Amino acid sequence: MMRRADKPSSGEDTCQREGLTLMELLELPRDQSELVHLVMRRGEVSLDDLSFELKKNQSEVGELLEDLVARGFLKSFQVEGERRYKIMIAKKSKRKLPMHFWGALDDKGE
């Protein structure tokens, strides 16, 4: 099952996947991981905020943001004419237990 977007979403505000999982967070390259952690702590941030905090130029941070938005890890939106970003956390998946599981429990009680 393919969950990642193939191409960046040309500025659209829609998310193409479920969000960032803990495993994906752990697998991010260091520069993306630092950026994501900063967004998580702040709630929502602008490109200027991130550039200042990460001590990187805006074009470099912009490329990181584009990739993370395209992958569905961040959401991009406008607030009073300023583009801002927030983290998109994946919902915890619900596990379904196999039907024979309950039967095995019933058998143990006898």
Token readout for 61 is 């941070």
Domain map (residue ranges) of the chain: 1-91
Q: Which CATH number fits domain 1-91: 1.10.443.10, 2.40.40.20, 3.20.140.10, 1.10.10.10?
A: 1.10.10.10
pLDDT tens by residue, 10-29: 444 444 447 888 788 888 99
pLDDT tens by residue, 56-94: 999 999 999 999 999 989 999 999 999 999 988 887 766
Helices (H), 43-98: 47-54, 58-70
Phi/psi for 79 (5° steps) reads: -135, 115
